[in-house]
Amino acid sequence: MKTLFQKIIDREIPAKLAHEDEHCVAIHDINPQAPVHVLVIPRKPIARIGAATPEDQAVLGHLLLTAASLARKLGVADSGYRLVINHGRDGGESVPHLHVHLLGKRPLTWPPG
């Protein structure tokens, strides 16, 4: 069964795209936790970071570079931003499809909640 993100990638569910290329899509989060909250999602369905294999190294690097590029495009690169990858229930994972959260345009405290 397809995950929510696979359905978005396949255009079965609409989403506000921030970026799209052959390796990933980036969408604006529907429940943003900051003024800028974008999800960078690999097209390849990797359940979570712990399920990634050495063969996924290139796509994992691409996700991070894409997030940094989006931070510049969305105007948060200079003021600062946070990248988050959740793993498992206790880590805050809500969709079993790896994705990187890009959060910015407000002060982010540490430790996160």
Q: At 14, is the secondary structure helix, strand, or coil?
A: coil
CA distances from 74 to 24, 28, 36, 93, 105 (A): 17, 11, 8, 25, 9
Cβ pair 97, 45 in contact under 8 A: yes
Is 28 tagged catalytic?
no
Cβ pair 70, 14 in contact under 8 A: no
Instruction: Choose the catalytic residue: 19, 23, 62, 99.
Output: 99
Q: Is the peptide bond before 111 cis (omega within 30 degrees of 0)?
A: yes
Which residues form the catalytic set? 99
